[in-house]
Amino acid sequence: MYITLEKNSLGDIQIEDQLIKKIIHKDIKSNIDETLNLDVRVVWEHETTLFINIVINIEDRNNFSIDQNKIINSTYELIKKTIGIQPKTVSVSFV
């Protein structure tokens, strides 16, 4: 899959948040657990700082087990390799 990245007049990369969300969602579903009910939230600050929050909805808290660090590390690597930006923060929330 190829992703087109555009630069604005200042040379900053422009990419749709929806695309980043889909990439992260697909990565987690295919590499970690396809049964997860998750929502990805992306926030840009000053067009260069990226914050990502991955919200996982849990139905049965007693039988739930997941490696949060695996999700965070996978997301850092994915974004850095895909768009060449190191996210400032990647967090995982359980609801």
Q: How many residues does the chain have?
A: 95
**Confidence (pLDDT) at 78:** 93
Instruction: Write out pLDDT tens, residues 15-46.
Output: 778 889 999 999 999 988 888 899 999 998 87
Which segment of 4-8, 12-16, 73-77 scores lowest on mean pLDDT?
Answer: 4-8
**53-81 pLDDT tens trace:** 999 999 888 888 888 999 999 999 999 99
Query: Torsion over CA of 39, 40, 45 and 46, rounded to 10 degrees?
Result: -130
Q: Is the pLDDT of residue 1 over 60?
A: no
What per-residue confidence (pLDDT) applies to 41?
Answer: 94
Separation of alpha carbons 26 and 40, rounded Å: 11
Q: Which domains does the chain have, with CATH numbers?
A: 6-94 (3.30.300.20)
